[in-house]
Chains A and B, each alone.
Chain A
């Protein structure tokens, strides 16, 4: 089990759980980061943060501090 913010571009993973305060959780869940959702790390910003991921057919950018709350299972690095 790893956390989303650690993953490198190109990695494919599946969402396992979302931690954190309820407001952030609700937002992350609403944006499609639910248990079992497949995602792929696209890139990091030039300054290393935020990161861009592909999930549920669209591209989402989020800060590593936010991504830290997403627990994932890595499928392919």
Chain B
């Protein structure tokens, strides 16, 4: 006798008995919820509608947050300038102006977009849309080692990998969640875009758009490949069943949405913001010292940062990259946003003029290599912090760093080789 099913049956029989005595059902009319579903999961328009909707939601989050970010940027720049002009001791002025205010400004500029993404995410969760997203995308994603619920986190990664990885909490199965987290950094976040725009614009003018798009595609393809490999070789091909409830759509309650967004934003502030601030201070120190050598931070060519760049150079010389790229990449570890700015600092020009100086240090082939390395090589420090938290151990985090570095070099090497071979040099 199979008691597992007998007991389940026994319980449901009892429930049926109880409900028969206590619950009356009047015929249910076709609800609004059903209507939405009919459209949203339709064979032909389901996926396009769905993708458009997702794009709109996150686009909204980023646009609405932009004015706040700009305001914060302006405020802290002003503080920075004030510090530099009012503090007598030049080193202290630099510390307070560039280091502390600069650091604060740098970190807090991230706060608005991340907070709004969390709001958008909470709305999606509370409306009941997430299970639909998973339902629609499940088949495509299971083919590449992921599953339906990975979709939103992976999509979020195009904006910023930090909230994306936090969003993986909706994936119940540990293996599924782990794989999603481990490949998430390969989704090219918005901070990497300026690097592509700069280099593709300078070296691939006519086809810049195509090159940039292929960076994103490359990230997606690599994520699919790595997820498949991880599932097969690290997790023994194990997969968990979907068995997901599709609750009726509901209007999100503002209080609930705000509370959820608030809690997650606080986690960001506690974990990532402190790491970022410390990282920014370190970056300030590396680019400003030795004090005499750098004229107090004016020329960073003789700074500790450039020393690191020179140390890194041998690793990237095979791709035609020099120590300036090395410094930029080290900066990119702190945050991908500052790669372009760091190059500006090294070349001693403003961000707008970097494009003019670039051809002296790069070729189309090496530019391609740099873009690819930027895409793959490391998650930024803040993302790393959240990775460590969500993966639960340094061991796994170290593995992610290791595989990304190796993958970055392999793919960059292949791309560089092909580019040189095609005479793109």
Contacts and interface: CB of A to CB of B under 8 A. Distances in A.
Interface of A: 17-18, 22, 24-32, 34-37, 43, 45-50, 52, 56, 58-63, 66
Contact of A61 (B8, B46, B142, B246): B246
Interface of B: 4-5, 8-9, 12, 37, 41-44, 46-47, 131, 135-136, 138-140, 142, 148, 241-247
B152 to A, nearest CB: 16
A34 B246 contact: no
Contact of B241 (A37, A52, A62): A62
Q: Taking each of B37, B46, B136, B242, which has the highest tally of chain A beta carbons within 10 Å of its own beta carbon?
A: B242
Contact of B139 (A17, A24, A45, A56): A45
A32 B241 CA distance: 15
A62 B12 contact: no
Task: Report, nearest first, the 4 A-B pairs whose CB atoms are least far apart.
Answer: A29-B8, A47-B139, A46-B46, A59-B246
B12 A32 contact: yes
Contacts of A46: 41-44, 46-47, 136
A31 B188 CA distance: 38
A60 B42 contact: no
B9 A34 contact: yes
A60 B245 CA distance: 5
A47 B8 CA distance: 32
Given A45-B41, A46-B47, A46-B136, A60 B5 contact: no
Contacts of A32: 12
B139 A61 contact: no
Contact of B242 (A17, A18, A35, A62): A62
9 contacts: A27-B243, A29-B5, A45-B41, A52-B41, A52-B246, A61-B131, A61-B242, A61-B246, A62-B241
A30 B8 contact: yes
Contacts of B135: 45, 50, 52, 61
B9 A35 contact: yes
A25 B5 contact: yes
A49 B139 contact: yes
B139 A31 contact: no
A25 B138 contact: no
Contacts of B243: 27-28, 31, 60-62, 66
